[in-house]
Amino acid sequence: MVLNPQQIEQVERMAAYFNKGQIAAWLGIAENTFARLWRENESIDAAYKKGRASKVALVGESLFRMATAEKNPNVIAAIYFLKARGGAQWIENQPEQERQTINIQYSPAQGRGERDITPQPSRLDSPDAD
């Protein structure tokens, strides 16, 4: 199977909204078939990446406009932008959490002996085994 140029354009448009499995379903092919085509055809890979990047750029631009608006700038958008794109100096340092140790002790119930419940190999093959 080969995707024609129109289908590759559709992959680019859909990549902004769908994952690869959803694109495969929309194209009417199995997900593993789409994955194989994607690996084998650089134009499908490029179309998918371009489609994803185009919407990320659009949302990023919108986020930046909200963060830097002269009237009523969105402080949350500004904080998010700086944390995501501003580098390590904008990320809050969080104290390392202590790792708690849980000790579990096992002891059989009083008056009850332990028993081995491992099935016998001969019973595993028997259709009459319960």
pLDDT at 57: 87
pLDDT at 117: 72
* The residue type at 12: E
> Are the CB atoms for 64 and 81 separated by under 8 Å?
yes
What pLDDT digit, counting tens, does each position of 38-91 carry? 899 999 999 999 999 998 888 888 888 998 899 999 888 888 888 887 777 777
**Which two tokens mark 8?**
């590759």
H-helix segments, the chain: 5-15, 20-27, 31-40, 42-67, 75-85, 121-124
Task: Quote the distance between the C-alpha of residue 82 and its chain's center.
Answer: 23
pLDDT at 95: 66
Of 58, 60, 46, the residue nearest 15 (C-alpha): 46
CA distances from 28 to 4, 34, 51, 56, 120 (A): 14, 10, 20, 26, 47
Alpha carbons 19 and 54: distance in angstroms, whole number: 15
CB atoms within 10 A of CB 52: 15
> How do the domains of the chain map onto residue ranges?
5-87
Q: Which CATH number fits domain 5-87: 1.10.3470, 2.50.20, 1.10.10, 1.20.950?
A: 1.10.10
